[in-house]
Amino acid sequence: MTKYTILTEKRLKDIEDIIVTSGRIVTTDNIHKALSNKYTKFTLKKRIFDLKEKGWLVPLKRGLYFVSDITSRGFLGISPFVIANAFIKDSYISLESGLSFYNLFEQMLRITASITAHKSIHYEFQDHTYRFLKIKSELYFGFRTEALEGYYIKIAELEKLILDFIYFRNDTYSIDLIIEKMQKAKDLLDLEKLFSYAQKFPVTTKRKLGFILDLFSMDTKKLHRSLSKKGFSKLTSNSKIFNSKWRIYYEDRFAP
């Protein structure tokens, strides 16, 4: 459990200077810039250690800290999306976390999922998991920047979120989930953008997308014309029924 002590006037001023300069998610360099005019290099190192020991600087990972709220002395109130983008700047929120952002997923999430072109990795912080999935660099696109709680986060566009979902997932629960959410959000989708983005993905992703869109009686002619008539794919790992139009196997529960 993190220990907090009563803030001395000097500690309070240091924390205020850090927050004013760089916000509540800071790097070691940010802290140095905020406090270097007050301390020597040696003393500053001791000040950082002191603030860590007393619980006012909470390490997220090496060289990255969260500045605890001076009033509540807690971490609550900062969105996990902000923390996720702080862990890895070159990443964007997607999958279930993206659905939550668009108010399409009601359950409380204990995992924040992000996509990155770097290696897959996860972090654990205060009973929450931050999971980063690696995607090929040519598929690292389709996100935008949004303002959130005084910070900027990167979030997948709805069309890219759907493609990420069916690209990474092939279990029955996940496909069932994305079909349900696409049904709710179909009027919000930009089909031209969805089909344009889909062209960059492997053929299996395009087949899965086409099959799902057919369930909603959406116009998929353009997507279908772009597909190879050779080979086959699977909607889920348990799929056994063949759909000749999309050359994809599916489970009975997903029958058109």
* pLDDT confidence of residue 69: 62
Q: Is residue 55 part of a domain?
A: yes
Domain that holds residue 246: 160-254
**Residue 251 burial (C-beta neighbours within 10 Å; 0-12, 13-18, 19+):** middle
How many domains does the chain contain in total? 3
Q: Which of 171, 168, 254 is CA-nearest to residue 204?
A: 168
Would you state the pLDDT for residue 132? 97
- 1 in a structural domain: no
CATH number for the domain spanning 63: value is 1.10.10.10
User: Among candidates 74, 82, 138, which has minimal Cα distance to 114?
Assistant: 82
The confidence score (pLDDT) of residue 70 equals: 53
Question: Do the Cβ atoms of 113 and 139 come closer than 8 Å?
Answer: no
Q: What's the token pair of residue 137? A: 């660099």
Q: Are residues 137 and 201 in the same domain?
A: no
Q: 163: number of CA atoms within 13 Å, CB side? A: 27
Residue 185's pLDDT is 92
* Residue 74 forms part of a structural domain: no
Do residues 183 and 247 both lie within one domain?
yes
**Residues 166 and 203 placed together within one structural domain of the fold:** yes
Position 107 scores a pLDDT of 83
Same domain, 173 and 137: no
| Nearest of 231, 212, 233, 232 to residue 223 by alpha carbon | 212
* 98 and 27 together in one domain: no
Q: Are residues 90 and 20 in the same domain?
A: no
Phi, psi of 23 (to 5 degrees): 90, -160
Residue 54, in any domain of the structure: yes
Beta bridge partners of 124: 129
Q: Are residues 184 and 241 in the same domain?
A: yes
Same-domain status, 164 and 233: yes
148 and 201 share a domain?
no
CA dihedral 240, 242, 246, 252 (to 10 degrees): -60
**Cβ–Cβ under 8 Å, residues 112 and 128:** yes
Q: Is residue 73 part of a domain?
A: no
C-alpha 160/C-alpha 142 separation (Å) is 5
Where residue 43 falls (left for φ over 0; alpha for ψ -120 to 50; beta otherwise) is: alpha
Residue 195, pLDDT score = 95
Residue at a domain's end among 132, 156, 180: 156
Whether 198 maps to a domain, the answer reads: yes
What CA–CA distance (Å, rounded) separates 118 from 102?
25
Sheet arrangement for strand 64-67 = 25-27, 64-67, 57-61
DSSP 95: H
Q: Is residue 72 part of a domain?
A: no
Q: Are residues 115 and 103 in the same domain?
A: yes
- Answer yes or no: is 4 within a domain: no
Q: Do 91 and 148 share a structural domain?
A: yes
pLDDT in tens, the chain (256 residues): 444 445 567 777 888 888 888 888 889 999 988 888 888 888 888 888 888 887 788 888 888 888 876 554 444 457 899 999 989 999 999 999 999 999 998 888 899 999 999 999 999 887 889 999 999 999 999 999 999 888 889 999 999 999 999 999 999 999 999 999 999 998 899 999 999 999 999 999 999 999 999 999 999 999 999 898 889 999 999 999 999 999 999 999 998 8
CA-to-CA distance for 7 and 17, rounded, in angstroms?
14
